[in-house]
Amino acid sequence: MSDVDEGFDVLKEFVIDRGTCCGCGLCVTMCTKGLIAFDGIPKLVGECTECGRCNWNCPRLPSAETGEVIPSVPKAENATEDELIGPYNELLGGEAVKNEILERCQDGGVVTAILCACLESGYIDGAIVTGIDPGHPWKAKPMVATTTDEIIAAAGTKYLYPAELSMIKKAIKESKLEKIAVVTRPCGAQAVRKMQNSDKKAIQRMGEKVKLLLGLFCMESFSDDFLQKEAAEKRGIALEDIKKVNIKKDFIITPKAEENVVIPMDEASSYIRDGCHFCADFASEYADVSCGAVGTKEGSSTIIVRNNTGKEAVELATSNGWLSTRTVSEKALKVPQALSKRKKEHAKPIPSR
Ligand SMILES: Cc1cc2nc3c(=O)[nH]c(=O)nc-3n(C[C@H](O)[C@H](O)[C@H](O)COP(=O)(O)OP(=O)(O)OC[C@H]3O[C@@H](n4cnc5c(N)ncnc54)[C@H](O)[C@@H]3O)c2cc1C
Ligand code: SF4
Ligand code: SF4
Ligand code: SF4
């Protein structure tokens, strides 16, 4: 069977029904006929013509021909190979410089600072970020941002699976962007690389419009109804009054005016996406730059620069006054490596077709 002429039923049988879908949303982008909607899982909403496009770059669908799930990406020149957190050129700690970012961001505001600097300088002409759905507080809403205000408004982690890559279609077709930054989880970074490494020229060209791939560290993601059920219904916290959500072993909810509320991870774990149990990537090993909280002090981010694109983006942010960084030793990798190891040891293998 060829990978070319298969329909949505292949995704359904080998990914969705097996619970391996990570909710990246790339299949939504890939269906040029607009037949795939994402509502927690991808759903077919019209008559599939079996063009096969939605199958080609799914990061959870092994190739029928080779069995390969994710292509191996050649490591950048002079990169240090680390079997736990992936290849890297440089390890940094850092914080955004501007208060408007520090007030909204999750950790050091590094992701937002890099995006703003890259947009301002023309390195990118827009970014795919994830904000909040105004009608449904704490439901994640992926979006195409073309101003620094929009990028800053979307700062902060939503521990959810927003199908962020579904926005690549909008960025290219509607916003007509040519140099896109994508902020995504490790699974999303794998999907983008799969697209960029496609043997189909049109798909490769589409992938090449992703000029900058910013990956977040990620241990797991949770379903949209988590906060509704655990924070609002069980604990009486009004969702629109939540200022920040963080994970420090357990979930910590910071309401605007009250004390923090802790939701034990034991209670939260039933909301973890099934597809996360098949995930062996903690540190966004396929990104140009990876950012996370662990490995650095509170209010700061760990920055793993993996290649020249990542280096250019971080340098733009520091030289244009958006980001402050310092070199950190390999000791900073101890915790990310330990979490990565745990994830790799516990990940279930993706079943073959
Ligand atoms: C599901 C999830 C799990 C995570 N788990 C860990 C962990 O276990 N350990 C750890 O150290 N770090 C984890 N992180 C990363 C961490 O929470 C911060 O996002 C990271 O440290 C960057 O902080 P920052 O202040 O630089 O980002 P900010 O400047 O605040 O920017 C964050 C960016 O991420 C985007 N974003 C928010 N939510 C999502 C999402 N769900 N998918 C895609 N993009 C999104 C925002 O739009 C924004 O552009 C996780 C992130 C996610 C999304
Ligand atoms: S028509 Fe859409 S849903 Fe059907 S195979 Fe092509 S991309 Fe997939
Ligand atoms: S993993 Fe991504 S591309 Fe694959 S079915 Fe799920 S949302 Fe679609
Ligand atoms: S644990 Fe893996 S599959 Fe789940 S959201 Fe994070 S990167 Fe994606």
pLDDT at 131: 96
Pull the structure tokens for residue 77: 């020149």
Residue 270 is given by DSSP the state G
Distance from CA of residue 126 to its chain's centroid? Answer: 16
21 within ligand 3 shell (Cβ under 6 A): yes
Q: What is the CATH number of domain 225-271?
A: 3.10.450.750
Largest pairwise CA distance in the chain = 59
Beta bridge partners of 293: none
| C-alpha torsion sign, points 37, 42, 47, 52 | positive
Q: What is the pTM of this model?
A: 0.97
Q: How confident is the model at residue 5 (pLDDT cuts 50, 70, 90)?
A: low
Pairing label, strands 90-96, 126-133: unpaired
The domain ranges of the chain are 90-222+272-346, 225-271
Reported as a single tens digit per residue, the pLDDT across 7-48 is: 999 999 999 999 999 999 999 999 999 999 999 999 999 999
Among left, alpha and beta (phi > 0; psi -120 to 50; other), residue 248 is beta
The answer to whether residue 302 scores a pLDDT higher than 50 is yes
- 80: exposed, middle or buried (C-beta count within 10 Å: 0-12, 13-18, 19+)? middle
Pull the structure tokens for residue 2: 């060829």
Task: Tell me which residues have their CB closer than 6 angstroms to ligand 1.
Answer: 105-112, 129-130, 140, 154-160, 162, 164, 183-185, 216-219, 221, 291-294, 301
pLDDT at 2: 45
The answer to whether residue 4 scores a pLDDT higher than 60 is no
60 within ligand 4 shell (Cβ under 6 A): no
The answer to whether residue 257 scores a pLDDT higher than 90 is no
DSSP states of 136-198 as a string?
EEEEEEEEEE-SHHHHHHT-S---S---GGGHHHIIIIIS--SSEEEEE-HHHHHHHHHHHT-
Residue 218: φ, ψ to 5°: -160, 125
- More confident call, 105 vs 79: 105
CA torsion 247-41-183-215 (nearest 10°) is 60
Task: Tell me which residues have their CB closer than 6 angstroms to ligand 2.
Answer: 7-8, 30-31, 33, 35-36, 44, 48-54
Reported as a single tens digit per residue, the pLDDT across 119-146 is: 999 999 999 999 998 888 878 999 999 9
Reported as a single tens digit per residue, the pLDDT across 173-219 is: 999 999 999 999 999 999 999 999 999 999 999 999 999 999 999 99
